[in-house]
Structure formats: C-alpha cells, structure tokens
Structure 1
Amino acid sequence: MQEKTLDELDRSILHALQISPRASWTTVGRVLGVDAVTATRRWDRLRSTGSAWTTCYPGVRLIDAGFTAYVEIDVQSGRMMDVSRALAAYPQVVTVEHLAGGRDVLAMVLVQNLGALSELVTEHIAALPGVARTRAALATRVFSEGSRWRLRSLTPAQQRQLTRPATDQSRAEVDEYDHRLITALSRDARAPAVELARQTGLSAPNVRRRIAGLVHRGDAVLRCEIARGLTEWPVAATLWASVPPGEIDKVAQGLRALPELRMCSSVTGPHNLLFTLWLNSVADLARLETLLAERLPQLHLVDRAVTLRMVKLMGQLLDERGHATACVPIDPWLPPRSPGQA
C-alpha cells in the first residue's frame, strides 16, 4: 500500500534539493516563491521523520579508481534481517536490499582494490552467520546512478535557476582530506561548513572550496533522497540483461531515456548489464519489459527481481517503510574489518 504522499510544496523543495543539494534556503525560497523560513521548516520536518535526506558518495573518477561490486547473497531461512543488519554495518557496503527472485539479498560494495573486495566478500560477508552462498559481479562501467533521478515538480525555468553553469576545473589530485570530507558529507550533504570542518580537521573556507571543486569535477556526488513509499513510484525492480558488446553503449543510452531508470551498470559475469527501475506497481514491470522489447531489441532480459525491503541506501539505514533512521558513513578507503573492530 502506498503511504500518504507529499504535498506540492514538499515535492517542490525536494526537487530543488535534487538539483542543488546544498542550495541555501534563501535561493530555494526565491525559486519556489516562498519564504526561506517556510522552506527550512518543511525540510526539517521531512528530515526529522526520515522522509527525505541528503548524502554524498564518490563520483565516477574516484569509483573508476577503485572497484564497485554487486554481491548476491543467499541466506538461510529465518536469518534475513540478521544478515542484512550485519552487512549494513560495513562502511564499504553502501546499499543492502531484500529481493524476491533469484537471490535473497543484493549488496552494492565500494572498495579500493580487488584484494580488499576478496577479503570483504570471503572473510567477512561469507563468514556471517546465516549466509549460505555469495556471488560477486564487478561493475565495469556505471552509465547512470540515482542522483540523476528527479521528481517532476519544478518548471524548466525554475530548474535552470538552480542549475549551476558548468565551469572548467583542472584535474586536482584527491587527498586524504577529500576522502574525509566525502565520508562526512555522506552523513548529511547539507551539513554546515563549520561542522564539516570539525569532522575533517579543515578550516570552514577550505571545506567550501573543496566541496565546490569535488562536485564540479565530478569527484563527489551530492544527492537528495526520498522515501520511495512517499513517491508515485513505490516499487523498485532490478533487472539483469545480456547485450552484444558492441551495442551496450546504445542500449545504455536508450535506458537513460526512461524516467523510471535509477541505476544502470555494465557488469562481469554471465550477463553484462544490470539496471534498476522505480515503478508505479509490480504490474508496471510487465509494461516496461514490453516497452524495452520494442525500443531496444538488442536487450535480452534474463532475470528480474522486485525489492521487498531496502535495508540500506547509499549509507542510510532504513526502516520497514523506507524511512531513514541512522547512517553508516560511506568509506571505500577504509580497509575491510568487522564493524567495531579497531
């Protein structure tokens, strides 16, 4: 059953933050035609109830410098939540979801090297009580990710006011302070610069400069997320497909045209494409599959699974309604170790 939906002002504020997650409330209020205090209060309510939140994670260049893996996990009967909570405690395991079909749990993992991935999967995940079997596929290229997904509340003119013009940014080396800053922002991408300075050991002006540089270069992605049950797309589905290697870019471009697309990545393994959709209903999956067969005949769907429960989404721990309750900050640079281990 779909929860009570957001009102139009809520949706407009969230759409604005999807476009510009650190926009000032003065800017948001001006674009929406409301008082900044009103916008602030609305956001505070949404955030305090876990209905919406902001996060941050490494951008494409940093992800390409490391490794992204999708780990499928089969779980012994009755141990689903035990395994999921244990997985969610790892800062390298950024997303954990229960699925109906083919595998019990799907986890997205960010690590710095293959040795760290091997250690995390074989010595930690596979060793968790209740885990029966694991299978890992590496992402070879991420074509689309969740920060591109948008509500549809603002006019094109309003969206343009919130979109910063592209600027030339020299490629700077990312250092340990940048790593700390990305991890700190994963807790709350709207955290004040003074608070981020305290967490990272930087000055507030340096924090502001670094955030601007990381975002403009694409080294960090800031994202405003919404509890899925509060949207018109309360159902999530993950699909696996096979595509001829020479056609994968064309197929990915076609998938990116779908407003329902949340994530799309080429992967290793028997099937070379994995993507996630947000849908109006479970029945809507059949409509999308028919549409894909018509538009993208090169795409051969081989498996699909519906998300029963999202336990963790890009560092945020979620309750059974999909509302944020806590955060395990994202840290792919941390060596694998059991949570709580020094």
Structure 2
Amino acid sequence: MEPKNLTRVSEFHLLGFSEEPELQPLIFGSFLTMYLITVFGNLLIILAVSSDSQLHTPMYFFLSNLSFVDICFTSTTIPKMLWNIETQSKLITFEGCITQVYFFTLFAVLDILLLTVMAYDRFVAICHPLHYMVIMNPQLCGLLVLVSWVISVLHSLLESLMVLHLAFCTVLDIPHFFCELNQMIQLACSDTFLNNMVLYSVALLLAGGPLTGIFYSYSKIVSSIQGMSSAQGKYKAFSTCASHLAVVSLFYCTGLGVYLSSAVTHSSHSSARASVMYAVITPMLNPFIYSLRNKDLKRGLKTLFEKCLLSLVKGIFLSRLLVFCTSLCLFGLPQSLAISHWQ
C-alpha cells in the first residue's frame, strides 16, 4: 500500500514526454515553434475579422471567439512546460496545478461549445437562408457566446473545487506535460468515486450533447444541400461547412483517441504524447484550415497586411520628417539638407 500524506501537498512533478537530457532542446524548440504559430495564426484571424467590416458577420464573430479561446487554450499549458525545460525543473506548485486544471478544462469545454454554436450558425445559414440575419441577430450571437462562457466557467469551478478536497499520496509524479484533471484524480489516495462520477457524467453531457447537436445540424445541412438544383449552389454550401467540419473532426477524433489510448496502454508518457494532438496541434491548425479556401478571410488578411504596411511606411516617413525638421531648427537649412542627403 502506498503511503499517504493527508496534509496539503505543496508541489507536483510534471514528468513531460521524456527524461533524457539530449531530447530536451528538441522538445523545447518544437513546442516553442508550435506555440508561436498558434498565437500569431489565431491573432491574425482576430485582427482580420475586427479590421474588415465585411467580415462583421455571425460566422466570423464566432470564428474570432474560437481563435481567442485557442490562444488561451495553448497558453494554459505550453509556457509552463517550456519554462520547466529551460530551468531544468519539473516542479509545479499545488496552486499552479489547480489553476492549470481550471483553465484547461474551461477552454476545452468552451472550444466544444463554440464549435457547436458554429454548427448551428451554418445550419441556419444553409437551411433558412432568407431568415438568417433575422435569426442570427447580434443579440442572439452575443447570448450564445455568453452562455458558453458561463457553462464552461461553472463546470471548471465544480471540477477544481472537487479536486481541492482530495488527499494525495506521497508519490506526486504526473506523467504528463501539464496538470490534467484525470491524472490528478488518479494520484489521489482518498475516495475518488464522486470525482470520477462527476467527471464522466459531465464529460458525457458536455461532449456527447454538443456532438449530437453537431450531427443533427449537419444531417439537416446535407438534406438541404441534396435538395438544391444548382451544382454551383451545392458546392458553395458545402465549401462554407468544410472548414468547420474538418476542425470538429480533428478536435473530437484526437480527443477521443487520447482517452482510448490511455485506457488501452499504461505507458507513463503515452497519454501526454496523445494529448499533443488536441491540446497543441489542433489549435495550431485551425487558422490554416479556416483560411485555406476561404476567399473572404483571405481578403481580410490581405487588407490587414496592406494596412500594416501602409502604417509602417507612414511611420518611417513621419520619423524622417521629424528628424529633418529638428535638424532644420538646430543647425539651419544648409546643414539639414546635408544631413538628410546622407541619411
């Protein structure tokens, strides 16, 4: 029997992917690259949507919210992992671990709910196109996002508070690169029946329920597309859903694969490697998937780059003009002309 420590633990050890020192630089570089791509890619989506008035529609409003959540989703785990590799430390405080559990659970559930809302948006756009702007009005869009946030916050708060009441064993090694809820529950020495019951019941409700809604929406969408007489109309309707369907498939398939693989294999690092797919890879690929065949988003990104380039040119011109005027005031006209000529 493992020894127990009923006092409040102060820290955990995140074992990560590998304990071999020669692999740490490779892991650090790979995850730093993926994190930067995720942040800048999703940030570009947000800036493009906010700067282009033609993208101020419900579809892109939900997409910009999803991009923001993806940035927060990866920022919950990767910076701490990179810091531990850089400092050659595996420690994370108990408070830091609970914080990771809270925010990771929050943004994971929020990701699922936003994908469900986006499926409903595509359902209304294709099945009820004449009433789309009436149904998907700004008030309803804001309400859907607000309800998604409220549900996610309450669920994360419930799970985190239940973890706080657990007593942990003296062996506090987490075979993961972040504090994952299921891993923490498995480390507990006290009775975890209630925690597991809530974990799987809520997971079934918050993952299975939205997935059922997504399947229902797309069944109606497929029926509506089949009823279209124009081949061009069918292609246009399908192309508006292809990106969202790809993201949903990637997120759910990788997430499901993580828990199936962790149930089949008992390797200490298998769950951590599998979690990379939905916790890191999927948020990184989302901007590419949504912008690859989306002409409106490409136009928005092009407009954003043009505005940034124009602002940069104006800034350089104004700085040179300021230098010239300053030289004119201090040295007089001939000297200022000479200075500007050499610059």
TM-score above 0.5, yes or no: no
TM-score w.r.t. length of structure 1: 0.25
Largest Rg, 1 or 2: 2
TM-score w.r.t. length of structure 2: 0.25
More helix by share: 2
